[in-house]
Structures are given as structure tokens and as C-alpha cells.
Amino acid sequence: MPHILVKLLPGRTEEQKKELTDKIVQAVKEYSKRWRVKHLCFI
């Protein structure tokens, strides 16, 4: 399972952070289709 850490400057809303997280998870899942991917997201 890949470990990805994203740090953002202050000022982003929780909705913006969630949207970014969803897109990153989707990109990882698409890249690793042949692997079993489990993801946990902490905002």
C-alpha cells in the first residue's frame, strides 16, 4: 500500500481537502489496478 503525505498551506476548506484527497486516491487506484489497494485518509 502506498503511503502519501500531502501538506497544504493554511486557508483551504475541509471540502477542498476532501476533494483533493478523493482525486489522489482515485489516481493511485487507477495506477495500481493490478494490486489490491486499501486506503485510509486523514484530513
- Measured CA to CA, the distance from residue 38 to residue 2 in angstroms comes to 9
Helix intervals (H) in the chain: 14-31
pLDDT band with cut points at 50, 70 and 90 for residue 11: very high
Q: So what's the pLDDT on residue 31?
A: 81
Q: So what's the pLDDT on residue 36?
A: 64
Structure-derived torsion over alpha carbons of residues 20, 14, 6, 40, reported in degrees to the nearest 10: -80
The C-alpha cell 482515485 sits at: 26
Model pTM score: 0.65
Q: So what's the pLDDT on residue 15?
A: 92
- Measured CA to CA, the distance from residue 32 to residue 26 in angstroms comes to 10
